[in-house]
Amino acid sequence: MTAKDVLENATALASYNVLLQVMFRVLTFLLNAFTLRFVSKELIGVVNVRLTLLYSTLVFLSREAFRRACLSSKTEHNWRQIINLLWLTVPLGVLWASVLGCVWLWLLEAPDPQAIPHYGPAVGLFALAALQELLAEPLWVLAQAHMFVRLKVVAESLAMVARCVLTMVLVVWAPQWGLYIFSAAQLVYTGFLVLCYAAFFLRFLSSGEAERQAFPLCRVGDLLPSRVGGESVVNSKLARLTWSFFKQSFLKQILTEGERYVMTFLNVLNFGDQGIYDIVNNLGSMVARFVFLPIEESFYVFFAKVLERGKEVQLQKREEVAMAAEVLECLLKFVLVVGLIITVFGYAYSYLALDLYGGSLLSSGTGPSLLRCYSGYVLLLAVNGVTECFTFAAMSKEEVDRYNLVMLGLSVSFLSLSYFLTWWLGSVGFILANCLNMGLRISHSLFFIRRYFLHSPWTPLRGLSPSPVLLLVLALSAGLTALSEGALCCDRGWALRLTHVGVGAVCLLAVLATVVFTETKLVHFIRTQLLSRYTKKEA
């Protein structure tokens, strides 16, 4: 597979992942708005912070290192050894479930059983759901490595719909079940994922299609751990790389979910405030999840396949490095422009968005301030996703090990900042701590990228320099929308609210028009790598 083919598959994967994230976030958005009418904010806090943290921690620590290692090599591996390695996620998950379950049940403060019943069984059921999802891990890596882009969309879409429907039905008809409702919905979600992946590969391998496509596995039995001849059970080099990523993933999880760990272990916010923070956090991260996360996941695969890990630029194929540099530059420009737009318009429309979504429950108090701060944080989140995506794909094993020490320092500083800033500023302190931490991570990645391309003709970091005209239009839009909010919004009737929305729409159109005329290279990249795919399908 050539670098161009890998790029086309990566952009297809990113496109489908964007659609998947849009669907996921829209359904979650509607589900939260619906459940807020039937359950307490304290229950939302326990589910969305405490139990979801257990689930995400267990899954992340059990599989993230395996994913990065098994998708990172440019050379052809023995897929039987890779499958054997990936099945180790299940016993590792059982170990983590035992440890984390004890922590969640006996070391953390349990919620009031009268207000929030069935906490103990819910911990066990969420851990069981995580273990159930790990059963599909070898199949997920196979699908990602061979660019089965539609499989992930179909599987996760069906699972999401099933979870949302079950939650809404149970919330209306059996609200007294409390945490059992959300535990059952999580089990249904992971069950659908496993069934979809298993059904696809059973059909794919048994129909003869795998043999026609020169797929490395030919029988259903090849999906299970096995050993053939005198070969080792797992690839020792890949196992060592997995261990390096495992140490890194532990620290990355702390950085990713740091505010939830602080809320859970240090009790700086009560369950009600945790619920409000989580809702605002989900609302603020919608676009980041829609666009930035799919790009990071998909183009990590692209960079990992095109570049040779740990090898200097001069010793790699010039054509492939040039393509990687051009893609990196365009990605940086794209996420920077989107992040700036979110920051500018998020400030003036945070109050209105929360008031429409959850009424005074969200728009009163710290909700609008939280969302405004989060709008600025999204910009840093966008840039960090792309820079780390490239950095982790290009680092050598030794550099990955050294970066673990950096991550350790960042983790300690982030947790300390989160605690003190939250104690001082309340829930806004979480976002400020995230901003500071993200800035340090971006600085490290930018230093690596600059050094990586230092003795080459490519300068992909130019993608972080938007045109002066675009910056001017964004600054004018920020001023106009802020004045519009003060004069027209948000307690002066629907007519003035709609006028405020109209002002934002005009400013947004002006910004987009400026992007089209000033960022021609970016527009060409979007048109040729994304939009052309849909026009081909329509033809």
* Confidence band of 289 (pLDDT split at 50, 70, 90): low
pLDDT in tens, 242-254: 888 887 777 778 7
* Confidence band of 498 (pLDDT split at 50, 70, 90): confident
**pLDDT at residue 515, rounded to an integer:** 94
pLDDT in tens, 49-86: 999 999 999 999 999 989 888 886 544 568 888 899 99
Question: Six-digit token pair at 93?
Answer: 């998950």
Q: What CA–CA distance (Å, rounded) separates 366 from 363?
A: 8
pLDDT in tens, 293-316: 777 877 887 888 888 887 888 888
Whether the Cβ atoms of residue 217 and residue 79 lie closer than 8 Å to each other: yes
pLDDT in tens, 504-535: 999 999 999 999 999 988 888 888 765 544 34
Average pLDDT of 318-340?
A: 90
**pLDDT at residue 429, rounded to an integer:** 86
Question: What does pLDDT average to over the chain?
Answer: 84
Written in H, E and C, the secondary structure of 229-253 is CCCCCCCHHHHHHHHHHHHHHHHHH
**pLDDT at residue 21, rounded to an integer:** 60
Q: Is the pLDDT of residue 229 over 70?
A: no
Question: Six-digit token pair at 193?
Answer: 């994922």
**pLDDT at residue 4, rounded to an integer:** 62
Other C-beta atoms within 10 Å of 351: how many? 21
pTM of this structure: 0.70
Residue carrying structure tokens 């239009």: 473
Other C-beta atoms within 10 Å of 41: how many? 19
Whether the Cβ atoms of residue 397 and residue 241 lie closer than 8 Å to each other: yes
> End-to-end distance of the chain based on CA atoms, in angstroms?
25
Contacts of 247 (CB under 8 A, 6+ apart): 401, 404
pLDDT in tens, 435-445: 998 999 999 99
* Confidence band of 538 (pLDDT split at 50, 70, 90): very low
Judged by average pLDDT, the poorest of 75-89, 280-294, 380-394 is 280-294
pLDDT in tens, 108-133: 988 888 888 899 999 999 999 999 99
pLDDT in tens, 177-199: 889 999 999 999 999 999 999 99
Structure letter (DSSP) for residue 257: S
**pLDDT at residue 10, rounded to an integer:** 61
Judged by average pLDDT, the poorest of 58-62, 465-469, 491-495, 523-527 is 491-495
Q: What CA–CA distance (Å, rounded) separates 515 from 530?
A: 17
**pLDDT at residue 258, rounded to an integer:** 75
